[in-house]
Structure 1
Amino acid sequence: METFRFQPGETPVLISLPHVGTDIPLDIAASMTDAAHEVGDTDWHLDRLYNFAPALGVGFLAATQSRYVIDLNRDPKGHALYRGGDNTELCPTTAFNYSPLYRDGCEPDSVEVRRRLNTYWHPYHRQLEAELAVLKERFGLAILFDAHSIKSTVPRLFQGQLDDFNLGTADGTSASPHLSGRLMNVLSSSDRFSTALDQRFKGGYITRHYGRPEDNIHVVQLELSQSTYMDEEAPYRYRNDLAGQVRPVLERFMSVLVEWAWEHAEGTRQRVAYY
């Protein structure tokens, strides 16, 4: 069973797409509601939106399973991501709009959560950790871009309408401020889009856990408003007219990641074939 797709790149940059998957295994789907089967809280179409990244030499790691199966961007011990906030669980039981994801009495118990950790969560993170180690060994540093998107209005998670670009660096602890500053310059360069840094979306578990700039591993998260590239209601259609306006900014964003990585890379050792 394929739980993720991985393609190595030829630069120190890796893009992670932990919420782009839509698959739900049949045994889990049988216990879920019709609302869950719609997988409405997916980070829709991000693999399509960022399909230019491999041409820049950027590797990618993308989940195939829905976040409703298990959230790859949550602490495996179930610790809350935002203290005092309305957090969804490691294995969510409700959607962002509070719709139940499981039929009565069918919510996953602790044994089932552990099974999903071993089957889906740990393989993704082992691959992620291994590739970051490969990049650091080869180039002297690694940069991880954790890519996300969300509806522009989700009352459960934030008030009002979300900014278009929401860059997260765990309050400046997960990446060099010089890197985040250059990225913010790119995101704020267009009058068409609004931008925020380390506000509502500061970065999830992946950003906070793997970001160690003092060890030359830099992680940034971008939470993109889905109104910039798609229809936010079912059937969640990708909008070429909208995407055509936001993609140039994203392409420059990725180019700056690669440029900054090369500026700070050390050595030119060849990739070790670990896979």
Structure 2
Amino acid sequence: MNTRPDWLQVHEGDAPLIVSFPHTGSDLPEDLASRFVSPWLARRDADWWVHDLYEFARGMGATTVRSAISRSVIDLNRDPSGVSLYPGQNTTGLCPLTTFDNQPLYRPGMAPDEAEIARRCDTYFAPYHDALAAQIARLRQRHGTVVVYDAHSIRSRIPHLFDGELPQFNLGTAGPSGAPDTSCDNALSDVVENLCRISGMPQVRNGRFKGGWITRHYSDIPGGVHSLQMELACRGYMSEPAPDQLDEHSWPTPLDPDHAAHLRRTLAQVLTACLDFATNRSAA
């Protein structure tokens, strides 16, 4: 009997690959919606359409884990202790109080207190990570080696978070730029980075986004779990208004399948490389 909440969507595949979608949701629970300044603002920073962009993953045998809840309610890719993943840099927290552009999310006096944050952890954070951990354990028993691929996207220009325009592909392996990876074997990340490079689109490894809590927490290289994060710039698959033209009438724009075709081909190659890596390591 399936006892998962409706907002938690798990598709079980047989291949040694898990694709995690912690930020693609836009649902606002009824008991929380009135606390936010506006529903649009509370949904605005979602990783729009990313689960649709990777719809081919299930056909490859991948397991997918997705939350339909907005990241403004709780960010499933943050350290539950509240420790910043990017010390010294602007970022948002476990239960964000502001948008990516540093605008207040909550009406006066409506921000979550410690008790409310704990409740959201119990209601949303724990079930998502229980499901993700269970899928890792299931596939680990079957294959020996598993790749956890954490799929994300973000607007190309957000001055509060980073300077200039973000590269199209932002590979995060929880390591300093130019240093050995810590969340996966370099043999995997080297191949992924090269596939992004030969696409002709800008790419970076461990740049502004080095991998969030999911990438860092679930990595267990000696135990056969290799994790990485891919943060995509939204411009690769949808139209983006200029930052000063962003409003509820201009954002989000639809996923553009024709525009996304080149990006999607590279992503299919990337997931194939992840699958090949896990399959070959398991066989060895």
Q: Same fold (TM over 0.5)?
A: yes
CA RMSD of aligned residues (A): 1.3
1:216 equivalenced with 2:224 (yes/no): yes
Aligned match of 1:3? 7
- Mapping of residues 126-141 of structure 1, within 5 Å: 126-141=130-145
- Output one character per residue of 1:106-154: Cα deviation in whole Å (capped at 9) or x when no partner: 0000000000000000000001111111111110111100000000011
- Preserved contact between residue 78 and residue 89 of structure 1 (Cα < 8 Å): yes
Q: What's the counterpart of residue 250 of structure 1? A: 267
Residue pair 2:44, 2:252 contacting (<8 A) in 1 also = no
Q: Which residue does 2:207 correspond to in 1? A: 199
Pairing of 1:91-110 with structure 2 (within 5 A): 91-110=95-114
CA distance in 2, matches of 1:35, 1:128: 28
Whole-Å Cα distance in 2 between the matches of residues 238 and 38 of structure 1? 20
Aligned to 1:151: 155
Counterpart-to-counterpart distance in 1, 2:213 and 2:124:
16
1:175 aligns with 2:184: yes
Partner Cα distance (1:166, 1:89) in 2 = 20
> Match of 2:247?
none
Quote the offset at 1:14 in angstroms. 0.4
1:187 aligns with 2:196: yes
- List aligned pairs for 1:68-83, cutoff 5 A: 68-83=72-87
Do 2:20 and 2:64's aligned partners in 1 also have CA atoms closer than 8 Å? yes
Corresponding residue SS for 1:209? helix
The offset of 1:30, in angstroms, is 1.1
Match 2:252 to one of 225, 235, 247: 235
Task: Indicate if the aligned counterparts of 1:14 and 1:59 stay in contact, CA closer than 8 A.
Answer: yes
CA contact (8 A) 2:42 2:72 kept: no
Code of the residue aligned with 2:229 in structure 1: it is Q
Structure 2 stretches lacking a partner, 5+ long: 176-180, 242-250
- For residues 150-198 of structure 1, what are the alpha-carbon distances to aligned partners after superposition, in whole Å with 9 as ceiling and x for unaligned? 000111111110000010000110000001011111111122x011001
> Residues 45-64 of structure 1: matches in 2 within 5 Å?
45-64=49-68
Superposed displacement of residue 3, structure 1? 2.8
Structure 1 unaligned spans of 5+: 268-275
2:129 aligned with 1:120, yes or no? no
TM-score in terms of structure 2 length: 0.91
SS of residue matched to 1:5 = strand
> What residue number does 1:270 align with?
none
Inter-partner Cα distance in structure 2 for 1:199 and 1:113: 30
- Return the offset for 1:67: 0.2
Structure-1 separation of matches of 2:62 and 2:257: 23
**Could you list the per-position Cα deviations for residues 55-75 of structure 1 after superposition, in whole angstroms to 9, with x for gaps in the alignment?**
111110011100001000000
- Counterpart of 1:162 in structure 2: which amino acid? L
Check the 8 A contact 1:182/1:256 in 2, yes or no: yes
Residue pair 1:19, 1:67 contacting (<8 A) in 2 also: yes
- Please tell me whether the aligned partners of residues 36 and 101 of structure 1 are also in contact (alpha carbons under 8 angstroms): no
Q: Are the equivalent residues in 2 in contact too, given 1:29–1:37 (CA < 8 A)? A: no
Aligned partners of 1:204, 1:127: CA distance in 2, in Å? 18
Tell me the distance in 1 between the aligned counterparts of 2:42 and 2:152. Answer: 18
**How many Å separate the matches in 1 of 2:40 and 2:101?**
11
When the two structures are superposed, what TM-score results if normalisation uses the length of structure 1?
0.94
User: Aligned to 2:226, what secondary structure does the other structure show?
Assistant: strand
Distance 1:254 1:107, change over 3 A: same
Match of 2:245 in 1: none
Write the distance in 1 (CA, Å) between the matches of 2:253 and 2:38: 17
Alpha-carbon distance in 2 for matches of 1:55, 1:35: 34
